[in-house]
Structure 1
Amino acid sequence: MIFKGCKYRRYEAWYKFNLLKLILPMLKHTFKIVGLSVLVLLIVIVTRTLLHTPEAANLPETVDYSLDEDLLLAHLSESIQFQTISHENSQGVNAQDFANFQYWVSQTYSQLHQTLELKTFNDTMLYKWVGTDTTLKPILITGHYDVVPIIPGTESLWKQPPFSGTIHDGFVWGRGALDDKSGVIGILEAVNYLMARGHQPKRSIYLSFGHDEEIGGVKGAALVADYLEDTGVQLAWSLDEGSFLLDGFLPGVDKLVATINVAEKGMTTLQIVGKGVGGHSSMPPSQTAVGVLAEAITKLEENPIPGGLDGLTLAMFDTTSREMPFSYKMLFANRWLFSGLIEAVLAEDPAMNATLRTTTAPTMLSASVKTNVLPIEAIATVNFRVHPRDTLESIFEHVSEVVENDNVEVRPMVWDGFGLGKSASQVSSWESKGYISIEKSIKSIYGDVIVAPGLMLAASDSRHYGRVSDNAYRFNPFPLTRDQLTGFHGTNERIGADDFIRGVKVYIRLLEVGSSQ
């Protein structure tokens, strides 16, 4: 027995030894293949990253204009002092403030006002500067002079009174300084400058200054678009408010980033309704209508409308990522490998997430009429900002699929002037003459900046002008920092004095270039 056991162990040892001799070469070969594959992968990643560089700079000649800067800033300051506030309830609008602003424009820019053709649509002003070649399609440069109200109770938080137009500490302060009286005054100053020097455009130019953009533009820009359409005017391109020259928004990028928005999101609002049995609050069921609604909203937030890094969003990041540090550049240069990671990281930032998909935002809740009454229905109002890849119908279908059951109903809401909502705009070309004119004008003043197509997350009057424009663009030629972002519809809205002056120069250059081609 002992002998047999020893013999078995010797056989077992021999077997293991020979098996190891067989396996080791195979393992070495496998390790070599894996190592070589990893090396090849690293080489591909690094090579693609090194090749992911900005396109060769083709900077236009830098130009400058001698302006009376103090006068320009004084005009912007004066414009802010008119409280041209758009209220949701039209009865709250002070019509005299709008009339006073229009009169101020006619006096401050008297040559422009007396020379150009003017039509008004309610309080929206449409000027026409007739070009020398009326066979060419005209262009439209536009902005809006209405502003949103000051949030009640926040007046004391303003460092300068919100309608003072105070020029202090290098800024012009007040409601409209960014959104959008700086745009309106910038355009007026540019035209005024060119007219004073005898400039005559080859291509006709329309100038539209809206009075109700903040409440949808249905009594201003929409009527202007109707007029242009009825008179057979098709614009070569239009430029409205939009993004800015962003300063410090991209990690590791120290250049200004000018995102010219070539599309804007649409919008729709749905009601999510949780249903219950009602009754007295002293005898509640295991789940009330409020509990049903809470579950539905949680499901909706956990299942956002699918997005992705494609189309316009991809074009924007492909351009801007070429200027980023190596680690970020590596991800975007190798989207085939890191696309999932990129999208997950971008989705964590609200602004970046909004470029990827249609966003879901529960904004209003209502339920019982009394503290001791169980509601039969609990209702959440949910606002969606529609990405160009989605439709109003596809959003309704997605929401219904996620939340609807015997106790949950999805109801569309009808908006005044917008039906069930507003689809996203068409995506304009970023290779057209209009886009190129805007890009050249920016670089003529600011020099080496990054210019990329972008998506406007909010809405503008271009929702109307887009239907009479071959291409509709949205961009304000003023630098903007993160600190200034809270001023939009918020507190301490302000624009840098020097930034405003440079923006006026961009408008001058754009009117020269855009109307001559």
Structure 2
Amino acid sequence: MTFRKPLAVASLALLVLAAVVVVRTLLFTPKPQPHLAKAELAVDSQRIASHLSEAIAFATVSYDDPAQIDRAPFQGFLAWLATTYPKVHANLKVEAINHYGRLFTWPGSDPSLAPILLSAHYDVVPVQQSSAGLWQQPPFSGLIKDGYIWGRGALDDKSAAVALMESLSDLVNAGFSPRRTLMVALNFDEEVGSEHGAKAIAAMLKARHIEPLWSLDEGSFVLDGVVSGVALPVASINVAEKGYLTIDVTAHGQGGHSSMPPHQTAVGILAQALVRLQNAPVPGGLDGLSAEMFDNLARYMPFDKRLLFANRWLFGALLNAELSKSATTNATLRTTTAPTMLSGSVKSNVLPVTAEAVINFRLHPRDNVDSVLRYVQKTIDDDRVSIAVRDGRNASSVSDSQGPGFLALAKASREVYGDVVVTPGLTVGATDSSYYDSAVQNAYRFNPMVLKKDELGMFHGINERITVANMAAATRFYSLLMKDAASH
């Protein structure tokens, strides 16, 4: 009898808790969005596809070793560009950036307004000889077949470069006169670090005291069927990108013959250090940008998943654990740790004096190079292991997801693709925006094309291709964006 009252109180508390959780979930619905009719903007899809086909045929391949780069295709591409878009070259200011880059400037009628910078790159990664036979179509054919344009650069990133030029050409032909200055950059070395392309443009802007209101470069896409639990396509407009840190981890041990090994060799010491790092990921979680992104996406998920996200105060630890299991979502939550290279003895029966590993970290905006180094040293905690930095760069700043640039990108996305989920996101790789970040007020990363789950592996992979419909939509997007953003 003495337990009835406490039991009743506990039961009531559970009922209240359950009611709170359910009510919060029911209220956790998509935020109201202004109704936008799909824009009826006519574009010539066959002409656009043909132009991308021609652009792909120039094997503008970037290699880490500059001596391997054949500059003839780069020169050919630039000559083709001038011939294909003569009115753009005649009506806009065209500047060469370190010979192979191009910066197009369309002066606005109101010089007091900060300009807008749109960017893409036309260099591509090599095609591995071992994979050449696996391509359904030759990688530099630009073949148009079955509704696709095939070839290296179709997704990364000649499609954006050609769509930008098509939009500029259409606007010039239509007699458009911008009030705000438009700048379009085509870079030639993004795949090898942008040291001579985007970096030079950012330096030029600073030297001229020009600070664009916002910039747009490659990043995420309109993701269709990619985000688990979200039925609608997701336009992930990335407002930041990760930095990176590459370190050498060296374990020091006793050398000699393998017939008389010590209790722990240098290889064993190194293995232990790597296991410690793998088993203790850099702390992360649903906060800041990650929380904002999932707050947008989860509102479109089924009730059971919405229940968890709507009540992070109760289920936060469970959510972090579940999201960390997926490589894709884990990368949005934290700085990732990736051992990539190993070396030890030169002979199977020789104990190495040192064993070395190379580890690459992709830095979340909440972390920096120094904080990750402290984490590594604390986690390994072994005097027999030394750490040396190869190179590194902090993550970008986080751009405004309520600013005019983001709102303009969201508006154009809905005008072209209709009912899509627009959310700020995080680019986990490196883009030219890493340089623009310091030269513009806000830097955004987004390609206005639809990407399905089975197409994710095409980046730097085999059978890279893009649909003709995607190229038409991307051109429509850039035209609407330029016209809208440059009009006020």
TMscore range, shorter length:
over 0.9
Show the counterpart of 1:476.
Answer: 447
Show the counterpart of 1:20.
Answer: none
TM-score with structure 1 setting the length: 0.93
Q: Is the 8 A contact 1:59 1:444 kept in 2?
A: no
Q: Distance in 2 between matches of 1:404 and 1:375?
A: 21
Show the counterpart of 1:222.
Answer: 199
| SS in structure 1 of the partner of residue 154 of structure 2 | coil
**Superposition deviation, residue 458 in structure 1:** 0.4
Q: Distance in 1 between matches of 2:258 and 2:67?
A: 39
Show the counterpart of 2:312.
Answer: 335
Show the counterpart of 2:437.
Answer: 466
Show the counterpart of 2:152.
Answer: 175
Q: Is the 8 A contact 1:332 1:338 kept in 2?
A: yes
Q: 2:25 aligns with which of 45, 49, 54?
A: 49
Q: Is the 8 A contact 1:179 1:488 kept in 2?
A: yes
| SS in structure 1 of the partner of residue 129 of structure 2 | coil
Show the counterpart of 1:16.
Answer: none
Runs of 4+ in 1 over 3 A off after TM superposition: none
The alignment status of 1:156 with 2:133, answered yes or no, reads yes
The alignment status of 1:345 with 2:322, answered yes or no, reads yes
Q: Is the 8 A contact 1:59 1:447 kept in 2?
A: no
Show the counterpart of 2:240.
Answer: 263
Q: Which has the larger radius of gyration?
A: 1
User: In terms of mean alpha carbon deviation, does 360-369 or 161-170 score higher?
Assistant: 161-170
The alignment status of 1:242 with 2:219, answered yes or no, reads yes
Show the counterpart of 1:69.
Answer: 45
Show the counterpart of 1:512.
Answer: 483
Show the counterpart of 1:15.
Answer: none
Q: Distance in 2 between matches of 1:484 and 1:172?
A: 14
The alignment status of 1:100 with 2:76, answered yes or no, reads yes
Q: 1:394 aligns with which of 364, 367, 371?
A: 371
Q: 2:275 aligns with which of 285, 298, 302?
A: 298
Name stretches of at least 5 consecutive residues in structure 1 with no aligned partner: 1-23, 414-419
Q: Is the 8 A contact 1:62 1:443 kept in 2?
A: yes
Q: 1:426 aligns with which of 375, 387, 397?
A: 397
Q: 1:284 aligns with which of 236, 240, 261?
A: 261
Matched-pair identity in %:
45
Matched to 1:129, the amino acid is W
Q: Distance in 2 between matches of 1:251 and 1:400?
A: 36
Show the counterpart of 2:289.
Answer: 312
User: In terms of mean alpha carbon deviation, does 52-61 or 184-193 score higher?
Assistant: 52-61
| SS in structure 1 of the partner of residue 216 of structure 2 | strand
**Superposition deviation, residue 463 in structure 1:** 0.6
Spell out, residue by residue over 1:182-202, the C-alpha distance to the aligned partner (whole angstroms, 9 max, x if none): 111111111111111000111
Q: Is the 8 A contact 1:265 1:385 kept in 2?
A: yes
User: In terms of mean alpha carbon deviation, does 319-328 or 281-290 score higher?
Assistant: 281-290
Q: Distance in 1 between matches of 2:231 and 2:281?
A: 33
Q: Distance in 2 between matches of 1:488 and 1:102?
A: 24
| SS in structure 1 of the partner of residue 186 of structure 2 | strand
The alignment status of 1:370 with 2:347, answered yes or no, reads yes
Q: Is the 8 A contact 2:116 2:214 kept in 1?
A: yes
| SS in structure 1 of the partner of residue 347 of structure 2 | coil
TM-score with structure 2 setting the length: 0.98
Matched to 2:173, the amino acid is A
Matched to 2:231, the amino acid is D
Report how many aligned residue pairs link the two structures: 487
Show the counterpart of 1:452.
Answer: 423
Show the counterpart of 2:470.
Answer: 499
Matched to 2:255, the amino acid is G
Matched to 1:452, the amino acid is T
